Amino acid sequence: MEHLIRGRFRRIAFSSCSNNLLKYDRHKNHRAICLLWTGRILERNRPRSILYSKYPRREYGMFVVKALRGVLKLRYLLLGGAVAGGSALNQRYQDWKDGLPDLKWLEDVLPDNNKWQEWRGSLIDIKDNVKNNIEIDPRLKALTESKYKEFKNWFDQRLDDAIQAAEANGTSAPKIQGAKQEINNKTIVYARPFAQEDKSKKSEQERLNNLQDEMMLTQIKYQKELEKLEKENKELRKQNILLKQGKKPSMRKVKRSLIDMYSEVLDELADFDSGYNTQDQLPRVVVVGDQSSGKTSVLEMIAQARIFPRGAGEMMTRAPVKVTLSEGPYHVAQFRDSNREFDLTKESDLAELRHEVELRMRNSVRGGKTVSSEVISMTVKGPGLQRMVLVDLPGIISTQTTDMASDTRECIKQMTQAYMNNPNAIILCIQDGSVDAERSNVTDLVSSCDPSGKRTIFVLTKVDLAEENLANPDRIRKILSGKLFPMRALGYFAVVTGRGRKDDSIQTIRDYEETFFTNSKLFKDGVIRSTQVTTRNLSLAVADCFWKMVKETVEQQADAFKARRFNLETEWKNNFPRLRELDRDELFEKARSEILDEIVNLSQVSPKEWEEVLLSKIWQNMSDKVFENIYLPAAQTGSAETFNTAVDIKLRQWAEQGLPLESVESGWQTLESEFRRFFEKARSTPDHDNIFDKLKEAVVNEAMVRHTWENKASEMLRIIQLNTLEDRTIGDKRDWDAAVKFLENSVKDKLQQSELILRELLGPSTKERWMYWRYQTESQTKRCLIKSEIDKILYSNNKHPPDLTYDELTVIKNNVGRNNVEVDNDFIREVWQPVYRKHFLQQALGRAYDCRKAFYLYHQQMEADCSDVVLFHRIQQMVKVTANALRQQITNREARRLDKEIKEVLEEYSQDSDKKETLLVGRRVTLAEELKRVRQIQEKLEEFIQALNKEK
């Protein structure tokens, strides 16, 4: 039992030791620990009586071992805990270190230690320079030594603080150097008064106070400069960090001004087709006046730039010009559809701008007209300009010259009334003060459109000339008080817009105007009030009136467009519930893709299909010429030798002259017919949209007209066709049978055509007359009598020549005359030709039947009346090689050239709005266009109203 227990404990001890060895195999002393534990277990299991009785010295030794064992145990426990704790701490440190973000980019952004030291040294140099450069006058120094020391200490302290702040915030060295140079310059400047103090009569205390104030201002300015540099440095750091991370710095969105937003709405309305019946009642300033009354000059004075072309007594304003005025840092002008800005401070740009305005006006006039209703839109920005939108209209004329269109006067009147009839338009009525009031045409027109004068501003121009010409100043007083003209106005103004010189600048004119009104008798005598003169007061009054009208009416106009949009959307949902709202441009792009898809389908036609279609088209085009010019004249000679000779001559002439071009034409017709076939096939699909049919047809027709076959193709065909037609041999029975069948089918087709011709000449047959109650005309009755006589002649002579002899004509005439019918020779020949043709074709068809089994005789070169079979074999082979050559030409070249030409046509049509309006028609198109425009206008109006409310 004792042995079993000891063995069990040994196994437990050794297993524990082995586990400890596996677990701590990295440390060498673990083996000793395991041995000690093993010995301890063995000692515990051994009986104490045996241990201490047999070995008395062993007890002392075991005591030493136990003590040593305790010491070693404590040592290794401490060592293992330290190692394990250090390992765990090292692992946690590594995990924490890996979790930190990568800060290497700071090395590229922040300067290194050397640069910091250089910047710090620069600031210290600034301090030293400031201390050394400021020199105080000795006399002042003696009197104010204490104050000077106090100020100097204060300044040094502030400068040291600034240096430390700059060093802490990281201001760049170049900027600090610039600040240093600036302070050096300032110290020198502010030190000069000390050298000249003896010449000054001020007291020493006042000078010292001034010096202190100036130095304080310098210090404040320096502090502000440092703060500005710090802000710029921070911004540069942010941008640099973003660039390092691959991001773009955020750009601020350019804020549009109110007047620009409002002008965009007016531009949308100008492009809006009047056929949509959408009322445009948004406010704008309409400048009207008689021709040469100075209305363009008034507008230029308000815009502070000579932006319009001028002419001596000639009509220059031929179209409405919408000018949007807004305030800006630079005086520039820009057209709506252009990115170029004209610098209005440069005379060269002004000249180019005037030329561009004149050119646009002339281009807008079409169809022999003198004026146009097409609006030219431009924007003028500059400092001090009042925000408003003005429309300069052509001047009203009283007499038409010979170089004008006959309806010019009426067109100008209708255009002016259309703009003034807008109930929210502000009418700027321009009246020439240098002419008699009775000669005015514009006042009556303005009075008819705005009888109450609630939106009219009257402007009297050329007051300087009026003062010189008018003896009675009361007349001007009556004009400006509204008592002379039969019209009312909100305000009356008098202006001077120049001295009649083209080269005068706006500033020169303004100075002249101010000088005139300052020295004018009218102004001094109280005829004109100060608020009624100068274009500056006029522009302020017009701008106030304009914005007042805008604020009062813009929301009503937005509601009107909202209601219009609702009605249009309802109409669309009711009429086109499952279709998208596509305007003309979008519909054109959709049609373009469909047309290009049809071109791609040409490549899907197999070569076999191409050759079959080409064979049919080529023979269809040349069959009449083969029968009429070659076969029938040669066959009617009556001799095989003559037949072959005539055929060879005619075939060669035809192949050298007209056959290649006719073949090319057949190939082109085949390409066109196949292309159109794909379009017809697309029309039969269930999802076909017929709105594109007119456009597709126009594009295909235009491309077909432009397309021309390559010139070298006909020359190539001529050689191939000549070589093929010269070959008279038929190699095998299969070719012979094919030629016979080709001859039979061709003759049958011609025979049917002859029968149709005869039926038209002879009228209804006996069966049709009896069963369907149809009757013959008198001419048809005569032809039937003649035909019966001709049949007798042909029956008697089966191989009759193609022409009737004189005797035969006489016999026919006499036989017909027995029935009391008189006919002439021409009438008989008219009937003879189709009858003989039918007779000959029937004989040719019979010979073709007989030649079906004559190949053996032909092969043995025995006599056989089958020359026509050989002819049609030669023609058949020529048609085959021609079709093969044309098929290769189409697939390799012509289809791609057609694709290119169709794309060119589509590109031209895409830029032509008139073509789109002509080819894309229907209520669906107009409704989508109108709905799109109304939405755009409503959205822009709502955006403008929101901005207007924020400004309020």
Are 537 and 495 in contact by the 8 Å Cβ rule? The answer is no
| Beta bridge pairs of residue 377 | 322
pLDDT at 767: 81
Binning pLDDT at 50, 70 and 90, where does residue 206 land?
low
Task: Give per-residue pLDDT as tens, 275-286.
Answer: 444 567 888 999
- pLDDT tier for residue 71 given thresholds of 50, 70 and 90: low
HSE of 714, CA atoms in CB hemisphere, 13 A: 17
State the average pLDDT over residues 254-276.
Answer: 70
- Mean pLDDT of the 98-127 span: 57
Q: State yes or no: pLDDT of 364 exceeds 70.
A: yes
Least confident of 27-36, 218-227, 263-272: 27-36
Q: Are 830 and 760 spatial neighbours (Cβ–Cβ below 8 Å)?
A: no
In terms of pLDDT, which residue wins out, 554 or 472?
A: 554
HSE of 632, CA atoms in CB hemisphere, 13 A? 23
Q: Which residue has the higher pLDDT, 25 or 211?
A: 211
Q: Tell me if 281 sits within 8 A of 553, measured CB to CB.
A: yes
pTM beyond 0.75: no
Tokens representing 943 are: 């955006």
The stretch 654-675 carries a mean pLDDT of 87
Checking if the pLDDT of 26 tops 50, the result is no
Give the pLDDT mean for 180-196: 43
pLDDT at 762: 87
CB 444 within 8 Å of CB 457: no
pLDDT for position 498: 77
What is the structure's pLDDT at 770? 83
Instruction: Tell whether the model's pLDDT for residue 76 goes beyond 60.
Output: no
Contact 459, 298 (CB under 8 A): yes
Q: What local confidence, expressed as pLDDT, does residue 113 receive?
A: 58
* DSSP-assigned letters across all residues of 431-448: EETTS-GGG-SHHHHHHH
Label residue 741 by pLDDT band (50, 70, 90).
very high
Let me know: does 789 contact 813? Beta carbons within 8 Å: no
- Sheet with 321-327, strands from edge to edge, namely 342-343, 332-335, 376-382, 321-327, 388-392, 285-289, 426-432, 456-461, 491-494
In this structure, the strands spanning 342-343 and 456-461 are unpaired
Q: What is the predicted pLDDT for the residue at 880?
A: 92
Q: Higher pLDDT residue, 66 or 482? A: 482
For 83-92, 534-543, 796-805, which range has the lowest pLDDT when averaged over its residues? 83-92
Range of lowest pLDDT (225-234, 553-562, 705-714) = 225-234
Q: How far is CA 719 from the centre of its chain?
A: 51
Residue type for position 569? E
Are the C-beta atoms of residues 636 and 803 closer than 8 Å to each other?
no
Collapsing DSSP states into helix, strand and coil, what is residue 428? strand
- The partner residues of 461 in beta bridges, in order of sequence, read 432
Both structure tokens of 503: 């080269």
pLDDT attached to residue 14:
41
- Residues 520-539: what's their mean pLDDT? 79
